[in-house]
Structure 1
Amino acid sequence: MSPADLWLHGAVPVLVTALLARALWAWAATETSAAWLLTHRRAAESDPAPASAQADAESPWLVVLLPMLREQTIAPAAIEAFTALDYPRDRAAVAVITTEREEDARRSARAGLPALAQRPLLPGDLRGLFPAARCPDVADAVNNAAPDQREQVLYDLYDAEPTTRHVVAEAAADLPTGRLRLAHLHQGDVPGRKAGQLNTALDQLDRILGPLGWTETDHAEHTYLVVYDADALPDTATLHSFARTARAHRARTGRRPALIQQQRLPLAARRPFPPAPTGLLLAGEWIYQLRRSLGIELARLRLHHWLTRTRLAGPLRTLLRPMIYAVGCGMAVHLPALRALDGFPEPMEDLGTGHRLSLLGADIAPTGALVLDEPYTDPAGLTNLHALAFTASARPDRHAAAIARLPSRLPRTGKAALIAREWADEAAWLLGAPLAAAAVVSSWWSGPWWAALAATAVLLHGPVLARRRAAPAAGDPSEDGVAAVVMAPPAVLDRRETGSGRDLAGRLRDHGPLFRRSGRLSGEDLDDGGHEVLGRLFDLIYDGLDRRGGLAAAAGHE
């Protein structure tokens, strides 16, 4: 058999079948995970959390960590949202960690302002120097100034722009009474990324929780550190959900989970996607992140949790156990586990923590609460994300070496299986797309049957499933259809268009139910057929955020 025959009649059928199976698996995993979230959310609604004013003996201590870098635009809204979370005020605190790296970068960038002032400015020229929303106004102000005044105008605007450190300090000084305690920490001029800021807070827990009567000697076993991004929109009942999950897991297994993961959904879009083709790429990434969140991250968490609570034979448990992808937007880590890991690992604190706890065989549990975060609307940020994720995931053997000194509940074969599975995932991530594309293109020469299956797989992966994951932000999609539907981002949190927070929530309800037909949805549509579960789930998300004021807070600070 020639190489061409081997490819057309051997490799192509296998790859096309795998592509179709993957599309069907993505649909099934997403649907079942959404149904699980809906079930747990309803259970939480029917089981009200205890009153927030006073803690009971079983309420864990919770520290919300918000590392911020160049987040001066959204810092006030983030502080308002997280300090308003519903939880006993004597058992939780919020710590905002700013960094001297931002101040150093501003000082260095200031030296380049004269060169910028010598030519007409575009908003893109000012990215990184000013908040994205301010760049058009700054560019107009400088361009409209007299030529001999342009440099001074740019200097004045730059120097008047507050840093995240100053914005957070002002917000902390004006914090209303009755909120969770807020601590503002500032990291010195040290190398590192987000993990370094988090470890700064880890080293100062006495300063954060000490005023509430906390000591590590007495309370470490009851303490979780909860990591979020500054752009996150949490449900107000989030902390009660973490506490409920920790209690339920301990009651079932006799152990506290080392990690509790909240599910994040990239629906808090504060900026629209740019025009095509860049916008098409970013909208495709948004749809992929929705599927990944429910169909991969949550599906793996549910499988891991099920394996923890069942009595399967060792070899079968080893075969099924997944590597957990922790996500640093709703990740609660047990303080003793974090101390054992020597803090949050670089370069990605979330993937590294999830991988290391997976290799230790630690208990990891999902919680039914949800948090909305912002999808990427900038190709540079997206590229940086994937580069860091690949770097953190590509060498699971390094994570294994980092925790080799620690006792593990996994046998050596279990660790080896996790490492091998992660390497296989990385290989599929690198080679899967080009191989699948080559197989689809070649499928016609393998026979009409394989060409039809390839077309079906492509449609399921792209337009068909995209239509069930995307809903237009406003108006109707264009009549030429599929590309417009894929391009449509989640409802944009733009106060100029949406008005009040309640109007915003109404728009989200009108346009927000995902994984369903595209276009506007009437009330009758919500009970229409196979996607009822997912439609109800997202209605509950938006109704809950509207009722608790999360969306109003977000819109009010844009």
Structure 2
Amino acid sequence: MTTGGWWLGTAVPVLVLLLLARALWAAAAVELSARWLLTRPRCSMPRPIEVPWLVVLLPMLREQAVAEQAIAAFTALDYPHGQAAVVAITTEREDHARTTARTRLPQLAGKRQLSAAELHGLFPAARCQRVADLINAVPLHEKLDRLTRLFDAEPTTAQVIATLRQPGHGALPLVHLHQPAVGGRKAGQLNHAVEHLDQVLGPLGWNEAEHGDATYVIVYDADALPDARTLEAFATAAHEHRAAGGRWPALVQQQRLPLLARRPFPAGPLGLVLTEEWVYQLRRSLGIELARVRLYAWLSRSPLPEVLRMWLRPMVYGVGCGMAVHLPAVRTLGGFPEPMEDLGCGHRLSLLGADLTACPALVLDEPYTEPRGLTNLHALAFSASARPDRHAKAVIHQPGRLTAAARLLLMAREWADEAAWLLGAPLFAASVVSAWWAGPAWAVLAAAGVLLHGPLLTTRLLALAPALHAGLTPPEGTDPPRRIAPVSPASLIAASPIQPFIRLAGPWRLLWRRTAGRHYDFGKTER
């Protein structure tokens, strides 16, 4: 058989069937997850004696623009008095980065026209365009002085938080921790907070020896907006799991949805690409991240034989915006792992066969409105997921509930997922283009797969987005969140088949640079 004959006779039919199966699975997973969120019952808090201690962790790096809003929202969450606290964690890395960034000012001031992208890392992302406009409006010989004064006037996140008043009566207490310059990323800030829990909860009467087993640390992004009942929902989910299985779950995952509109998408083709990625992120949130947690939890309590559960059990992706981790589990893992605390936690707890469950309360965060942060995110996520064997090695000395075969199968599935990330879109595209020559039936199936995977699912997600957005009740005193409204839904639906290709840029750029022996600096994945 020739190569062409093998491609049309074997590869194309297999790929077309995989595309159709993947599209059907994605549509079903999105629909079931959305319905679960939209029909969730209101929280019924467990009895006070069973209410777990909760610590909300807000790691912040260059978050001056949103720090005050975030702290106001999280300290206003409903929860029994004296059982929870909010921790804002700033880092000396921000101060060191400012010192380095200041040396770039003369070079930037020498340009006739500054773009907002060139100011990323010097100012909060939300202010970059405004600063660029101000600098571009002055004569060239005055630009350095104006830019320097604006830069020096910009407070650090730590300075912003230091000026905030302690929340009023009835609100959750706020603790500000400042991490020294010890390297690392978000995980390092989280671990710094975990090391200082006595300072956070001690004033409320907490000590780890007595209360550690009923304590959760909950990780959020600083730009997130949680539902007012979020902490009650966490406590309820954890309590129900414990009542059913006799153990606190190691992880309770709240599903973040990228539906918070703070900045508009840019105009033109770039805006279309970023809006397509927003749709894909919403699909991933519902159809992969939440669906996997719910499937994993269902399998854990299912009467199915282990040999069958082993083949169905997914690798869970933790999401570091609404991720509650049981304090003993954090200790078991040796802290939050680098380079991505959420993927690392999800992978390692999955490989241990730990108890995981989902929380039905909503949390909204911002979509990416500029390409640099998006590319960094995809490269970092690929780097954190591509070696599940390293996660397995990190927890191999810990007692787990999975057999060696089950762990190997989970790792193999994750490797297959990463290979599909790199190669799936181009292979599926090639099979769709070739399907007519494989036979009219395969062409029809290929067209059905593309329509279901792209335009039809995108149409459904655009219809679900307003209902999901309306399902969030903001904390008291917080402005209602603005909803994302795509400029041209028709263009978004028509161009939806390009969505899987957008996610290729970050991983392939990372691999190219590493192959060439060049360092890849992920930077901050700013939106």
In structure 2, distance between residues paired with 1:92 and 1:554: 28
Distance 1:276 1:454, change over 3 A: farther
For 1:133, which of 113, 122, 126 is the aligned residue?
126
Aligned: 1:448 with 2:458? no
Aligned: 1:277 with 2:269? yes
Contact 2:261 2:481 in 1 (8 A): no
Alignment of 1:150-161 (within 5 A): 150-161=143-154
In structure 1, distance between residues paired with 2:482 and 2:89: 20
Contact 2:76 2:476 in 1 (8 A): no
Secondary structure at 2:49 match in 1 = coil
Structure 1 residue 300, shift from structure 2 partner: 1.0
In structure 1, distance between residues paired with 2:480 and 2:33: 28
Alignment of 1:333-348 (within 5 A): 333-348=325-340
Alignment of 1:36-47 (within 5 A): 36-39=36-39, 41=40, 43-44=41-42
In structure 2, distance between residues paired with 1:169 and 1:553: 26
In structure 2, distance between residues paired with 1:465 and 1:553: 25
Secondary structure at 2:334 match in 1 = coil
Q: Deviations over 1:304-337 (max 9, x none)?
A: 1112212221211211111110100000000011
Distance 1:367 1:143, change over 3 A: closer
Alignment of 1:162-201 (within 5 A): 162-171=155-164, 173=165, 175-201=167-193
In structure 1, distance between residues paired with 2:400 and 2:104: 52
Distance 1:382 1:146, change over 3 A: closer
For 2:231, which of 214, 239, 251 is the aligned residue?
239
Aligned to 2:15: 15
Distance 1:89 1:11, change over 3 A: same
In structure 2, distance between residues paired with 1:109 and 1:265: 33
Aligned to 1:24: 24
Distance 1:463 1:151, change over 3 A: same
Alignment of 1:326-405 (within 5 A): 326-405=318-397
Secondary structure at 1:277 match in 2 = helix
Aligned to 1:119: 111
Aligned to 1:552: 480
Q: Deviations over 1:150-174 (max 9, x none)?
A: 3222111111111111111112x35
Structure 1 residue 147, shift from structure 2 partner: 4.3
Structure 1 residue 103, shift from structure 2 partner: 0.7
Structure 1 residue 118, shift from structure 2 partner: 2.2
Contact 1:241 1:367 in 2 (8 A): yes
Which residue identity lines up with residue 31 of structure 1 in the other structure? E
In structure 2, distance between residues paired with 1:139 and 1:393: 36
Alignment of 1:144-543 (within 5 A): 144-171=137-164, 173=165, 175-470=167-462, 513-514=464-465, 537-538=467-468, 540-542=470-472
Q: Deviations over 1:244-281 (max 9, x none)?
A: 01110011001110000001111012111122322222
Which residue identity lines up with residue 441 of structure 2 in the other structure? W
In structure 2, distance between residues paired with 1:30 and 1:380: 28
In structure 1, distance between residues paired with 2:115 and 2:344: 36
Distance 1:538 1:548, change over 3 A: farther
Contact 2:254 2:359 in 1 (8 A): yes
Which residue identity lines up with residue 144 of structure 2 in the other structure? E
Which residue identity lines up with residue 301 of structure 2 in the other structure? R
Aligned to 2:494: none
Q: Deviations over 1:363-382 (max 9, x none)?
A: 00111111111111111111
Secondary structure at 1:57 match in 2 = helix
Which residue identity lines up with residue 32 of structure 1 in the other structure? L
In structure 1, distance between residues paired with 2:293 and 2:143: 55
Distance 1:32 1:137, change over 3 A: closer
Aligned to 1:496: none
Secondary structure at 2:65 match in 1 = coil
Contact 1:81 1:553 in 2 (8 A): no
- TM-score normalised by structure 1 residue count: 0.83
Q: Deviations over 1:32-62 (max 9, x none)?
A: 11122233x2x22xx5447xxxx82111000
Aligned: 1:62 with 2:54? yes
In structure 1, distance between residues paired with 2:387 and 2:138: 53
Secondary structure at 1:149 match in 2 = helix
Which residue identity lines up with residue 152 of structure 2 in the other structure? D
Aligned residues: 482
Contact 2:58 2:221 in 1 (8 A): yes
Following TM superposition, where does structure 1 have runs of at least 4 consecutive aligned residues deviating by more than 6 angstroms? none
Secondary structure at 1:69 match in 2 = coil
Contact 2:217 2:327 in 1 (8 A): yes
Structure with larger RCO (C-alpha < 8 A, sep 6+)? 2
Which residue identity lines up with residue 17 of structure 2 in the other structure? T
Contact 2:60 2:91 in 1 (8 A): yes
Structure 1 residue 466, shift from structure 2 partner: 1.2
Q: Deviations over 1:431-452 (max 9, x none)?
A: 1111101101111211222222
Contact 1:235 1:550 in 2 (8 A): no
Aligned: 1:73 with 2:65? yes
In structure 2, distance between residues paired with 1:280 and 1:447: 34
In structure 2, distance between residues paired with 1:207 and 1:73: 27
Secondary structure at 2:48 match in 1 = coil
Contact 2:38 2:471 in 1 (8 A): no
Contact 2:87 2:177 in 1 (8 A): yes
In structure 1, distance between residues paired with 2:476 and 2:460: 28
Secondary structure at 1:552 match in 2 = coil
In structure 1, distance between residues paired with 2:107 and 2:283: 44
Contact 1:80 1:553 in 2 (8 A): no
Aligned to 2:74: 82
Contact 2:249 2:326 in 1 (8 A): yes
Secondary structure at 1:85 match in 2 = coil
In structure 2, distance between residues paired with 1:192 and 1:224: 23
RMSD of equivalent CA atoms: 1.9
Contact 1:233 1:554 in 2 (8 A): no
In structure 1, distance between residues paired with 2:305 and 2:454: 39
Q: Deviations over 1:470-503 (max 9, x none)?
A: 26xxxxxxxxxxxxxxxxxxxxxxxxxxxxxxxx
- TM-score normalised by structure 2 residue count: 0.88
In structure 2, distance between residues paired with 1:22 and 1:214: 48
In structure 1, distance between residues paired with 2:214 and 2:63: 31
Secondary structure at 1:438 match in 2 = helix
Structure 1 residue 551, shift from structure 2 partner: 3.9
Which residue identity lines up with residue 26 of structure 1 in the other structure? A
